[in-house]
Structure 1
């Protein structure tokens, strides 16, 4: 059967329905309930906020920003499309599955997609509210944004490299439509990180413009006295176990235990010569993350199992652009090749299990980077210059399940509602 192609038309009605606790769609294992980070995911309110409706299933969508800043939301349930407004021309995008943090000339502009999932360890809650443009966090340089897996509590970190300003946003305030800074502190300018961990944040410090350590700070921005070496800190992601920060010699794993911040070091295997991981990706919240070893994965693919505190280096079958760990029952790893194909790889030995045809070749040839993201059931690939969004069933021989044509170039894409 040929993949269905849907033209995106503006409009669509938001369906609202109240529902009680729902089962776990993400395939969480019982072991997850004992993970240190799982305790941080629980709390009063179950992710509910005033004006939001709890619904019976994930409100998954693809929220895109075109080169001029127009923000569009594709509802993956009914295939309707909504125009959410516009921001400045974007140069980068980070998301936590609800908010879009778009780098523009004004700073970091925040978009609330209005759809999110609350992880309650053994089950999930799903919400829908009105989308909104929340405003701008000002700062100098292209900021690095670090998020958690919760969109109504905790913090969101922004680091502005040109000024050395480290900012922690109040995520609960974001959920209420306000941008509120818990702290803004200045350190030496460098390509740094502000990584939220529970009620704390780890902020990089630099020597001669290069990150050399992370310093723990409380919600008020004051140092707690905890500092860990982390030379050339680069890349961060939050898993079900804790927050990961890449370092030249491995990674730091941080979580909160008994209201105390705990930071562990996970060194690379002894004798390794592969380049360090500098950018991580996975199916949101799962324990294993993936990263390229080298710009195109020329030295392979790093897998970090945060539950086992262990690295694995897989071979890369060809030059790659991005990789992501699905961390499902079959331990799939997804990869986008330099020719625009999506590969499904074995997490055990890196063998190619399935592949698509080239889906984003023109974009990659022009130096335009597509987005590849996965949830439990599907992967989504943007093809900006081709003006298409692809839905891929990675468990079914990388079958292209749906292709959506867009009326503008989806320069930056986020899967929201997850």
Structure 2
């Protein structure tokens, strides 16, 4: 298993020029398809005519199941160590137990070619464990067959870049594993590079660019006070900072980092957890319980919206109607006008009991046509047609508690 282990001092040895100003380039680079000529195909996978959407759930004991949204059949995939949190890129689900991270391959993925898509179906599999201690922060790209997947273990202060192409072939391969000073950090893949956070006084304070072997790229460091939260959009990779966000793109084979500052005078908590529909430029983040941030990565601009009721999650749909979906503190799913912040449709309180007790956190996920919500205490999975007045399209009753939810096949 190829990997490289470096200290934080070695990581910074080549980073001699701090790009704290991060001036914006004269022209915004266009979105690009994943750098691959195989259109996302891998051996033993069938290309199909439509997305193979499914809901993958994990129960509190680690039992993994996948519900096919086309024919409503359910498959038991096995079990992993009981997770404390999960993340997904739409194909793989990363289940963090606090003593390592399990990787689950749903066997379903979409390859985005910008103007069209390719859809694939393969056998699902439990790929194994990535060693590490403490909470694992996962950062993914828009491709599940190329590039890298970043994992940072807060307890052991290790920054790991997994080879995503190897994952697509059923192998766990670490491109690098860096030893850093203790902090809640991130490893964010971008093209054939990655951004790795560096701490000051135990808090992430900057990011440095490294290549796919973990070697620092000279002159590519940017300040990012209290770095927290990341997401990849069609435009580039986002990292949240105390004063706004960094947006990393690859231009002419090199990483460019821009700073997108919060609007002057904006009085709201910062964004720390971004969510949005896959492949779209705009993402959302909760800002306290009465506001939400929208970050348009194409326009390099923030918008602060006041909402008309308390919310606990938000995700940008970014369709022509500028819809934002949110989970209200009372357990309702809200369709919010992204221009005014007003609620234009809502469900009944679907997860009020789950929010009131420690039964697993409900997670709201969205694709082009539907939203999905797990209800651990209510032991249900909801499919919501957000464009049709937040209509409940289907309700599924899983045989085990759906403590964690990921939509796969996206």
| Partner SS, residue 39 of structure 1 | coil
Per the TM alignment, residue 275 of structure 1 is displaced from its structure 2 partner at its CA by 1.2
Structure 2 counterpart of 1:396, from 380, 388, 392: 388
How many Å separate the matches in 1 of 2:349 and 2:300?
35
Aligned to 1:115: 108
Aligned length: 382
Say if 2:34 and 2:146, in contact at 8 Å, map to a contact too: no
How many Å separate the matches in 2 of 1:95 and 1:37?
25
1:206 aligns with 2:199: yes
Aligned to 1:306: 297
Per the TM alignment, residue 71 of structure 1 is displaced from its structure 2 partner at its CA by 0.4
RMSD over aligned CA atoms reads: 1.2
1:130 aligns with 2:130: no
For residues 137-190 of structure 1, the C-alpha deviation after alignment (integer angstroms, 9 at most, x for no partner) is 011111100011110000000001122110000000000000000000111110
1:99 aligns with 2:96: no
Say if 2:307 and 2:343, in contact at 8 Å, map to a contact too: no
Aligned to 1:378: 370
Structure 1 counterpart of 2:138, from 124, 131, 145: 145
Structure 2 counterpart of 1:39, from 32, 42, 55: 32
1:271 aligns with 2:265: yes
For residues 304-337 of structure 1, the C-alpha deviation after alignment (integer angstroms, 9 at most, x for no partner) is 0000100000012222110000001111000001
Aligned to 2:6: none
1:354 aligns with 2:345: yes
Aligned to 1:21: none
Say if 1:118 and 1:125, in contact at 8 Å, map to a contact too: yes
Alpha-carbon spacing, 1:118–1:381, altered in 2? closer, same or farther (3 Å): same
Q: 1:399-414 alignment to 2 at 5 Å?
A: 399-414=391-406
Aligned to 1:192: 185
How many Å separate the matches in 1 of 2:329 and 2:31?
36
Alpha-carbon spacing, 1:301–1:281, altered in 2? closer, same or farther (3 Å): same
Q: 1:10-49 alignment to 2 at 5 Å?
A: 36=29, 38-49=31-42
How many Å separate the matches in 2 of 1:39 and 1:84?
34
| Partner SS, residue 38 of structure 1 | coil
Per the TM alignment, residue 36 of structure 1 is displaced from its structure 2 partner at its CA by 4.0
Aligned to 1:285: 279
Runs of 5+ consecutive residues of structure 1 not aligned to the other structure: 1-33
For residues 318-369 of structure 1, the C-alpha deviation after alignment (integer angstroms, 9 at most, x for no partner) is 2211000000111100000111100000010111110000001110010432
Runs of 5+ consecutive residues of structure 2 not aligned to the other structure: 1-26
Aligned to 2:18: none
Alpha-carbon spacing, 1:290–1:187, altered in 2? closer, same or farther (3 Å): same
Aligned to 2:307: 316
How many Å separate the matches in 1 of 2:173 and 2:303?
40
Consecutive aligned runs of 4 or more in structure 1 exceeding 6 Å deviation: none
Per the TM alignment, residue 37 of structure 1 is displaced from its structure 2 partner at its CA by 6.7
How many Å separate the matches in 1 of 2:200 and 2:341?
38
